[in-house]
Amino acid sequence: MWTAIFCLLLAGAGLGKAVADATAHGSPRLTRWFPSGVGPDAWRGKYRNNDPAQGPRFFLSTTALVFATDVWHFANFVTWACADAAFLLAAWTPYKWGAVAAVIVRRCIFQPVYGWLRK
């Protein structure tokens, strides 16, 4: 059971990484789904009227809640949250090989999803 949880968490990390990379390098599919949250200027979404000079868009939008401002930050939040949870579970001695299997699954998930998003 724990191996399945590892695999699901690392698959989530691979999915998040694929979305983040596709966002950073351009993704027609993501642009259709999130027109204002994708692209090289999406980071400006954390500021009021997309202007850094006007200050944060909302309380903590440039720090603790930055994941809620654009697709790239949210995808990276998902990536790291899933990976961290998987590795915390992997720290328990009996599940070391489960962690190895989960890393392999994560790596196998990333490339197909990233390639699909880039088309």
- Calculate Rg over the CA atoms of the chain: 16
| Tally of CB atoms within 10 A around 63 | 9
Q: What pLDDT shows up at residue 78?
A: 94
Token pair in block for residue 1 = 């059971």
List the single range of 30-34, 62-66, 91-95 with lowest mean pLDDT.
91-95
By percentage, how much of the chain surpasses pLDDT 90?
24
Q: What is the total count of domains within the chain?
A: 1
Cα–Cα distance for residue pair 21/107, rounded to 1 Å: 14
* Mean pLDDT on 36-45: 78
